[in-house]
Structure 1
Amino acid sequence: MAATARLARSSTVTEIVRDQLRPRLSAIDAGEYPDGVLRALGAAGAFAHHVGDAPDGLLGAVDAMAEAGEACLSTAFCAWCQDALVWYLARAEEAAPRRHLDALAAGERLGGTGLSNPMKALAGIEPLALQGQREGRGYRVRGRLPWVSNLGPGHRFAGIFSLPDGRRVMGLFEAGTETVALSANARFVALEGTGTYTVLVRDAYLADEDVISHDVAAFLPRIRNGFVLLQTGMGIGLARGVAALMRADARGRRDGAFLPLGPDAIEARAAALRERVAVAARSHGAEDRATFLDTLRLRLEVSLLALEAAQAAMLQFGARGYLEGSEPFRRLREAQFVAIVTPSVKHITTELARGV
């Protein structure tokens, strides 16, 4: 089926958010995985913008994610996981793993990123969780990956493992098999509906045809700016959603007229950050550390805006927002996730302190 024909018959992202996502907000917050919403977003082209190298492709993915994030950060985060996997595969060194690209970009298949632990490992925060060794025309891999999201049986995810000689390899794994098992061993204060699991890799065999990169040291600098820039859609969307929530609260706007941060200022900052993402996307392929640090600074500002916006909503709503199940409280819990997802505020500030 041609991509144009598929998109012509699908709903728009705006329609999907309005008709399919918003009616499910409470259920998703309670732990329902938004499978149907994600597949609909894929059919609408939300995960396909950045398959190529055009800067506006990255921005298109960020904008689609932000639109979902205005309503639900769980869904926006799952969208980022899907976007990140598409980003890796579209730039894979080998042609074979790209056979999965069309289905993932269209939302026909779903998957996760799997790079939280490797990103921390490369920054010296924690050890690399997966180890492998060459075996035949592939690798035998073992280890335990904590908290990989947007997963379920049959979903794909990227994983990085180290070899005995110190080299690192990135491969595409299938979740929910006997050797790549999923375990739900924690309950979070938010984003329970994101298909987040611990992945137990028990002597799994990864064939060469599923290797994204045999040389991660050379591959990661080519994808890391896009990996981080894509995340900005989550925080920008949440900030816009919070501003809309505050503006619709006539009572709170009246009683909180002198609070330091209102919806106009939040929207202005979100718009300015979105323009900076557009500029940064033009140099996403730059491999130097100085550019990467600029990307991290932008990501940090998005995190801080999400936190400040959600806090502002709580201050405006007061006791009404301090009730379990309230919208301001949901957005506050979600905003805290924007600040701790890899690369977290702690991780980013550590990298910035190290400098170039």
Structure 2
Amino acid sequence: MELTNNSNLPLSISVWLAHDNYDHDDRSNHISATSLIKPLKQLILSNRVENTAKEDIVGLIPSRMGSAIHDGIERAWVDHYAENLKKLGYPQRVIDRVRVNPTAELVASDPDIIPIYLEQRAEKEVDGFIISGKFDFIGDGRVEDFKSTSVYTFINGTNDEKYILQGSIYRWLNPEKITRDDMAIQFIFTDWSGARTREPNYPNSRTAEKKLLLQPIKTTDAYIRQRLATIKKYWDKPEAEIPPCDDEALWRKPTTYKVYKDDKAKRAMSGGVFNSDHQAARVFAMQKGGVVKTFPGEVVACRFCKAFDICKQKQQYLDSGELTLRG
């Protein structure tokens, strides 16, 4: 991947953004847990994109910030867990029992230790594919994932199903380590505001935990096998035959219905704008004697998709105005 710096970011920041410490796997039959749950078209077309594509470093800021948080948490545990636990008031007898990333042999030989696991990758071969995943944290048999994201994501649970699926795949890969049926998402908010804490459901601090129930291992295994069968079916098909990304995969914003005085009017009537409520717009139009015009919600995900340059579906949205290239 060749990087550009069209925003003229300073060298001090540019070098950080250009650095990639992700453990990429170039095996042709390898699929990571995070890739497995991506939209089908995005997964398949992304694998057809040449690595000679260019990417501007300004678009890497969210992922690099997330990586920095993960790296910081890992270092705090791996290199300094004893002193940090002592600062938090844990007694020495408890600290002495903690082991970070212990071997299976050590866990089996000493039932008194408290195992903590961080950033461990595991893999399984299924139907000719190698499925791998690297969890963030396991403590007391529960897997945790660290997410740096918006408050909106936390309040509305927009990604809860994906989180559950990802955590369930981690348990499918690590059943000897992940022994609990629940998982925890540790949110670190990128847009938190203390002034809004009185609002309903708004988090009280910049971090918050959300507990979710994992799928049974058998259910996860069935999902993975069915998913791989679907991927095989469409892997070499032309794009036109691959099922398109749906509104959820596109991160489509709500459709807007606007009521105008007539077809020639350029501005909607006062009070005549309705998000996702066609019926209310129709009632308003009947009462005021206007007409309803539909404006499909903007699609967002395409701007961040690796397959952007070769995807024909995104071109339809560019032509219709449903997709813009603004940041």
Normalised by the shorter chain, which TM-score bucket?
under 0.3
TM-score normalised to structure 2 length: 0.26
Compare the two structures and name the one with the higher helix fraction.
1
Q: Which protein shows a greater Rg? A: 2
